[in-house]
Amino acid sequence: MTSSNPLEIAQLGAEVLRLTAMPVENISAPETQQIITLMLETLSQSEGVGIAAPQLHVNQRIIVIASRPTKRYPYAPSMPATVMINPCITAHSEQQEKDWEGCLSIPGIRALVPRYIDIEATYIDLKGEPQSTRLTGFPARVFQHEYDHLDGLVYLDRVTDSRDIISETEFFKRLA
Ligand code: NI
């Protein structure tokens, strides 16, 4: 499905990316369902592997994780797009690992970001049912990246050495 009027993705500097998002109170509300539809649409039209509602200017705790190989992330493992409402991290590995991240809100840049390798999380699904999940590796990284958006953080805030920030052009040269 394509939208004739796709919502503009909030870019770094937009205030909404720096706010703490509010918990969703009514999952069946038309506004909630509409933003979820837009998030799924935006993901399918972009080469992203995840998105958070604040990136579409909606200050609500909703993320979509959609790890799959795309031009932006050719090595990403495939998993079905998963909508997570009011997500929480309930446990994580002690160990972190650095790997490359980018963000639709920060075009043209990639950076090495330390993230927990394993996480356990709870969330409410599209039907309003509570769910729990365990994620490892790349999907765990995507979750932590999107979750940060709900707390007003972007991945550059997690970078430990500014030398770990490179242009996307250089990133794709390294992949080749
Ligand atoms: Ni992002």
On whether residue 43 sits in a domain, the answer given is yes
Cα 105 to ligand 1 centroid, rounded to whole Å: 6
Mean pLDDT of 54-61: 97
103 is in an annotated binding site: yes
Cα 156 to ligand 1 centroid, rounded to whole Å: 10
Query: Which run of H or E residues covers position 1?
Result: none
Cα 29 to ligand 1 centroid, rounded to whole Å: 25
For 116-167, write each residue's pLDDT tens digit: 999 999 999 999 999 999 999 999 999 999 999 999 999 999 999 999 999 9
On whether residue 39 sits in a domain, the answer given is yes
CATH number at residue 59: 3.90.45.10
88 is in an annotated binding site: no
On whether residue 130 sits in a domain, the answer given is yes
On whether residue 5 sits in a domain, the answer given is no
On whether residue 2 sits in a domain, the answer given is no
On whether residue 138 sits in a domain, the answer given is yes
Identity of residue 173 = K
* pTM for this predicted structure: 0.93
**Domain limits at 125?**
15-175
On whether residue 69 sits in a domain, the answer given is yes
Cα 166 to ligand 1 centroid, rounded to whole Å: 16
Catalytic residues: 146
In this predicted structure, what is the pLDDT of residue 161?
Answer: 97
- Please give the tally of structural domains in the chain: 1
Confidence bin at 77 (pLDDT 50/70/90): confident
The answer to whether 143 and 83 have CB atoms below 8 angstroms apart is: no
Those residues with Cβ within 8 angstroms of residue 124's Cβ, 6 or more apart along the chain or in another chain? 24, 27, 84, 85, 86, 130, 131
Those residues with Cβ within 8 angstroms of residue 144's Cβ, 6 or more apart along the chain or in another chain? 89, 115, 116, 119
- Residues lying with their CB under 5 A of ligand 1, a single-atom ion: 103
For 2-37, write each residue's pLDDT tens digit: 444 456 899 999 999 999 999 999 999 999 999 999
57 is in an annotated binding site: no
On whether residue 3 sits in a domain, the answer given is no
Cα 104 to ligand 1 centroid, rounded to whole Å: 6
